[in-house]
Amino acid sequence: MNSLPKSKSVLNTLNSVLATQPKLTALPPLSMYIHFPWCEKKCPYCDFNSHQIKDGKQGFDEERYIKALITDLETELPRIWGRQVHSIFIGGGTPSLLSAHGMNELLSAVRARVNLEPDCEITMEANPGSVETEKFAGFAKAGINRVSLGIQSFQDTQLKALGRIHNGEEAKRAIAIALQYFKSVNLDLMFGLPNQSLETARSDIETALSFKTPHLSFYNLTLEPNTYFASFPPKLPSENEIDAIFEQNLNLLEAAGYRRYEVSAYAKKDQECKHNLNYWRFGDYIGIGAGAHGKISFPDKITRQVRERHPESYMQAMETKGNALIEAREIPAKDLPFEFMLNTLRLTDGVDTATFSERTGLPLNVVSKGLDKASKKGLLDSDPNKLKATEQGLRYLNNLQELFL
């Protein structure tokens, strides 16, 4: 009596599973992320994979690390045959601690092994405290064409509270030098800093705007787990004060011709960061270096990789085993909608609804319940051809993204 319904049930379940397996008709753009894990001083708010260089640069062996990076890249090549890389981002840590010679060696090795697009955007993060004119000239000659400077603030008292190694004048000098040598310059600024007022926040933005860089990042300081600030929190402005700072500075940025194109990113016309746009549009990226993450798509699956976090463990693994992977997995189909929405809903313009299927290989109807809930809550734009957060959705982004878990 029960055999027929049970068989139908199993068949329906199987068909449902098969129907939601990723089937990509085209592969997304491909980027590369290179992680440099050292810095001169660990900032108290930083939860990135960065390790303070000890006295005498103990643990920091540039030649050894670059060799490990090149080997790491070579292990990835079979997974990306025939694909072009359209952007490279060298993050950290403080990649500007590399020598110009080391950067040239690294990028020359990349160009010899990977097909780069002719106008490939190559970004390097830099600390204003480690900026030297001759070094920046060398980085530009090596192929860096975009620099992201971790300014955070121009106020000496704020910089001291944030544990930064530079002061306000050094920040200004670093910007001036960067503008001499690089096609594009981004300034990272924070708000909601310890004891920050509307006036000091306004001064920071106005100083940044005076340099007319094509791109600005404007982040709210958050107390992340496993940081010094999480254990010993500083006195931060109230939520109302932080909102007032954000609204004030948003108006200043827009008046100066910067468009907010992502939750924390602002750019002049056609000056958006290509690399980060690829992340937010659920593109692919090779991730090499200590603690680096990668995402690579295939016609029938999407995969993720994670490397050893500690630089010494990473280098030893590359030298002894030929890879430093601690995780290599296929993303389950049930997790793809959330991963996609986690990224794309950060974009103020959102993405076309067709992008969901293009990048996940899944039909849009797998997220229909989440879309319906988000729309009813006023968090998602009503345009049926767009997946786009409303202003309220951007303000309560975590709540919006959670609807797709």
Res 59 pLDDT > 80 = no
Reply yes or no on domain 334-405 having CATH 1.10.10.10. yes
> Could you tell me which residues are beta bridge partners of residue 263?
none
Crossing angle between the packed helical segments 133-142 and 168-181, to the nearest 10 degrees:
40
Residue 58 banded pLDDT, cuts 50, 70, 90 = low
> Mind listing the pLDDT tens digit for each residue in 333-351?
999 999 999 999 999 999 9
Question: How do the domains of the chain map onto residue ranges?
Answer: 30-279, 334-405
Q: Tokens representing 287? A: 């991730």
Q: Does a cis peptide bond (omega within 30 degrees of 0) precede residue 93?
A: yes
Q: What is the pLDDT of residue 294?
A: 97
Query: Hey, what's the torsion of the CAs at 120, 218, 344, 326, to 10 degrees?
Result: 70
Report the candidate in 67, 134, 48 with the shortest Cα–Cα distance to residue 96.
134
Interatomic CA distance for residues 179 and 146, integer angstroms? 10
Instruction: Lowest mean pLDDT of 12-21, 36-45, 175-184, 265-274, name the range.
Output: 12-21
pLDDT over 70, % of the chain: 94
Report the candidate in 378, 369, 370, 373 with the shortest Cα–Cα distance to residue 396.
378
Reply yes or no on domain 30-279 having CATH 3.20.20.70. yes
Res 16 pLDDT > 60 = no
Residue 7 banded pLDDT, cuts 50, 70, 90 = very low
For the chain, what is the mean pLDDT? 92
Residue 18 banded pLDDT, cuts 50, 70, 90 = very low
Tell me the pTM.
0.92
Q: Tokens representing 217? A: 């990042």
More confident residue, 15 or 40: 40
CA distances from 79 to 85, 155, 370 (A): 13, 46, 33
Q: What is the pLDDT of residue 57?
A: 59
